[in-house]
Structure 1
């Protein structure tokens, strides 16, 4: 492999040769394709490959990519172009300025996974650092229609039980289409409704597709989930796909299964970018589901009777993992999303939320959202949880009859008084700062005559 001045000379020669070929055809098809293949290799590293990344170099590649009658030549040029746009962001605006929007969108109409991948990658890259007009691509050049058609092809492929061994390009093209769909619906929210018809195909692939991945949200599974984030899951025309009559929980079960698998496979530093979108989709699916589907989801995501045998968050269950990560300082997006989801699963009712997760996990979220906190434990736990009528510790969420007590010797009366005074002062400060609005239990005890203040000359009996 050439490097340094020799690589620069070879790159310059190839760009000149391919540029002249556009003015007057002087290369045979195999010579042209070989030149583009060699140029692609040099273009993987921008050092000493400057001619590729100039306006003239990008225009040459664009013309071979979109004006050539040969699909082989076109794809070879598209690969070079993809590398250039990936490595040098200024090349993206050059491409946009050349005005090939119609032709790149037309490429997506081809029933070819290679063209789907390459054209999707180019449009995807131009969603960064350019002034490309996404609305025009959708309205004038039918980008959404072409992408939905490609997703339909992928869905058909994954619905075919007798399909042959998957072509690696199939998954690569699918991933690129999904990434492009997410970016367009993120950067051009006003046109997100143009992609609503993609929902049934995405759900089909997500629920029926079989992919060999190292981690549960590796491509294309992660992009499948992410692509649903900005789409209208409440649209009437997609309800039967999200909640199929034969098995309404098919999608919710699949999403929760991915969440359950993910909790053991990702480090704290990865959670915000990988698992947070999955929880966002779970929230959306729950929000538009029937009562039966919602009940099914709550049974899997909210603490169960088994979880309440210990302080909530101590068991190895998925609900415990969610509760623990609702306070994860390393993953701020995830912790906020978890609390949002758990609050939604509690019908957005503060008392039910406290009842489901305990004061310990609920109070901070409710305070930050400026939602009134139930004034006392009995108010929050006045309704049965639906799973048990056994008394529960309102702070920890554990069944009272299963609480473990310390073996430390009982405090003396003097120690009890000192601790009571500390608690009294603490409650006064919390009330003064507006953090809680509960009645100070020590004041209540004093008023009811259940609190005895010891005299100053009190001496404890010692055996």
Structure 2
């Protein structure tokens, strides 16, 4: 791999053909080092940035676009891009992205500038503060309000707002006051139509911004209805917890359950869909509680925990929904012919996570869910799933009962039918095996009688 040599001056007429050669060669390149020495890439980026800053007065728009496109590709990898990972470098990109003091116009020039700025904000978090300091956030808010803005610049502006608001409470406050209304309108429009391509990317970015800026306060509650509509109407992707479903579920972590909005007329279709998504997702996990499973490269612990926490919030905040969920997740007619963590039912799979070391987030979230579905009663929880599955969670919560009266006929550790298990084992024996077991029992009783540990009482007349 090599980088085409740049001309000694960026006013040289060969600059455009050099950049075209670069773009043709590296259109799909995501990593330049170590095939190219870091020092060589650094010098290359430095030279382009110097030209963009000091030698661009006579450039045509075509040259500007090619220069910014080359920087966008080089910025896919953070190594060697120090010239742009700085205050001055970020300010330069803000101007070329159209976020400076001049009126914004959607052009190929500003679109490439926005892409470069997005890459810098992603790889160099300090740049997010620079964008705020120079007014780039306020300018982005102003731009996103334009209903005529195209899908690609809309996506890029939303990506900038998402990255700028990841950790900045001030930015989150500004966005909450400035764009909740427009985000609500855009969501309402997008959930009514089939979305794909760039529109789907816009939808995902809106949901990510909503997650950053929402905290259950009243000014954000208008966003809930279109998010719930999306969750009900959007066809499940593969895997089910993929964008936009996963992003929508994440946003619900910040909103309290309101029965009339979430489950109007006691319609629990939304809740049923949540449970179905959970069942489909954990269905890839086997009977080994410590088997590390990844779905689409994401650890199951990270993928499923937000959904379980949403179910925890629903169960805690809505008594009627809790009762419905209890019937689905903790059915009264559960199969107790084997330990409850055995099998392929959703209940069995969830119980397995309660003692897993590999899935700490799911272990905590699932345990919390079962506890709330048990009306936060340690005794009820233990009587249903068994002491062994519940002990760790209850101990950590300081709720472990000093004694627990087992439900008659149910193994207090595993939750299975103990009497039924013994009866099945007896019936499975041959007559010879039964006779040998009876002889063992007779010898044992005789020994205990002779040593005085127990005494046989003669039957009286």
TM beyond 0.5: yes
User: What is residue 440 of structure 1 aligned with on the other side?
Assistant: none
Cα separation, partners in 2 of 1:318 and 1:155, compared to 1, 3 Å: same
1:143 pairs, out of 179, 183, 188, with 179
> What's the CA shift for 1:452?
8.2
Check conservation: 2:172, 2:212, Cα contact below 8 A: no
229 and 13 in structure 1: CA distance in 2 versus 1, 3 angstrom threshold? same
* Contact persistence 1:152–1:201 (CA under 8 A): yes
Q: 2:380 matched to 1:352?
A: yes
The correspondence of residues 270-349 of structure 1 with structure 2, limited to 5 A, is: 270-289=299-318, 291=320, 293-349=321-377
CA contact (8 A) 1:39 1:80 kept: yes
Structure 2 stretches of 5 or more lacking a match?
4-35, 286-290, 294-298, 456-461
Q: 1:95 to 1:149 in 2, by over 3 A?
A: same
Whole-Å separation in 2 of the counterparts to 1:48 and 1:369: 49
Where does residue 46 of structure 1 map in the other structure? 78
How many equivalent pairs are there? 394
Q: Does 1:70 pair with 2:70?
A: no
Matched, 1:268 2:324: no
SS state at 1:137 partner:
helix
Secondary structure of the structure 2 residue equivalent to 1:145: helix
Flag the 1:415–1:359 CA change in 2: closer, same or farther, 3 A: farther
1:325 to partner: Cα distance: 1.1
1:91 aligns with 2:111: no
Q: 1:129 to 1:154 in 2, by over 3 A?
A: same
- Structure 1 regions of 5+ residues with no counterpart? 158-162, 382-389, 419-450, 459-463
- In the superposition, the TM-score normalised over structure 1's length comes to 0.74
Indicate the larger mover: 253-262 or 35-44: 35-44
User: Residue 33 of structure 1 corresponds to which residue in structure 2?
Assistant: 65
**Contact 2:256-2:317 at 8 Å conserved across structures:** no
1:206 maps to 231
Answer whether contact 2:341 2:351 (CA < 8 A) is retained. yes
Shift in CA distance, 417/204, structure 1 to aligned 2, threshold 3 Å:
farther
Q: Secondary structure at the match of 2:386?
A: helix
**Residues 189-210 of structure 1: CA distance to partner in whole angstroms, max 9, x if unpaired?**
4x74432221111111111112
Please give the TM-score of this superposition, normalised by the length of structure 2.
0.74
The answer on whether the counterparts of 2:355 and 2:392 sit within 8 Å (CA) in structure 1 is no
Which digits, 9 at most, give the CA deviation of each residue in 1:79-135, with x for residues without a partner? 000111212233233323323221122233244432332222223323456675422
1:181 and 2:178 are equivalent in the alignment: no
CA contact (8 A) 2:232 2:273 kept: yes
Q: Which residue of the partner structure matches residue 156 of structure 1?
A: 192
Deviations 1:195-253 (A, max 9, x none): 2221111111111112543x22122222221111122224xxxx3331133x7111111
Task: Measure, in 2, the Cα distance between the counterparts of 1:46 and 1:316.
Answer: 45
2:89 aligns with: 57
- 1:115 aligned onto 2:153: yes
The match for 1:422 is none
Aligned to 1:244: 264
**Change beyond 3 A, Cα 1:265–1:75:** farther
Is 1:256 the counterpart of 2:275 in the alignment?
Answer: yes
| Kept in 2: contact 1:351–1:374 (CA 8 A) | no
Offset of 1:262 from its aligned partner?
A: 1.0
Whole-angstrom CA distance in 2 between matches of 1:368 and 1:48: 48
Write the mapping of 1:14-29 to structure 2, written as runs, cut at 5 A: 14-19=48-53, 26-29=58-61
Report the CA distance between 1:20 and its aligned residue. Answer: 5.1
Q: Give the one of 132, 141, 157 matched to 1:105.
A: 141
Q: 1:288 to 1:49 in 2, by over 3 A?
A: closer
